[in-house]
């Protein structure tokens, strides 16, 4: 959970009487969902990283283009591939 979310949770805990049971329930549900999605993103990032290992040389070359970082280079390879003949 990010620092902002942790701060929000701490703020919510201190608002007894101002935030009802239903709102707390909904906020906790949403925070659990955010945690789930964050974990899925991490898992998918690892999968992408593993699949891109064979294209490391191509990614490094694309990374030399100003404004193109690793993530953008991965997207370019995913869209157009490596055969540019």
Domain boundaries, the chain: 3-80
Distance of alpha carbon 23 from alpha carbon 39, whole angstroms: 24
pLDDT tens column, 35-79: 999 999 999 999 988 999 999 999 999 999 999 999 999 999 999
pLDDT at residue number 16: 65
Taking the alpha carbons of 67, 73, 75, 77 in that order, is the dihedral positive or negative? positive
pLDDT at residue number 47: 94
Residue holding tokens 């949403």?
30
Q: Concatenate the DSSP letters of all residues of 5-62 into one string.
A: HHHHHHHHHT-BTTB-HHHHHHHHHHHHHHHHHHHHHHHHHHHHHHHGGGGHHHHHHH
pTM of the complete model: 0.64
pLDDT tens column, 68-78: 999 999 999 99
């Amino acid at each position: 959970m990010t620092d902002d979310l942790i701060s929000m949770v701490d703020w919510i805990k201190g608002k007894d009487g101002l935030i009802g049971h239903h709102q707390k329930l909904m906020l906790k549900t949403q925070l659990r969902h955010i945690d789930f999605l964050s974990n899925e993103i991490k898992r998918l990032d690892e999968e992408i990283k593993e699949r891109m290992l064979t294209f490391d040389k191509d990614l490094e070359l694309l990374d030399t283009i100003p404004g193109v970082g690793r993530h953008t280079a991965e997207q370019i390879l995913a869209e157009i591939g490596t055969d540019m003949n």
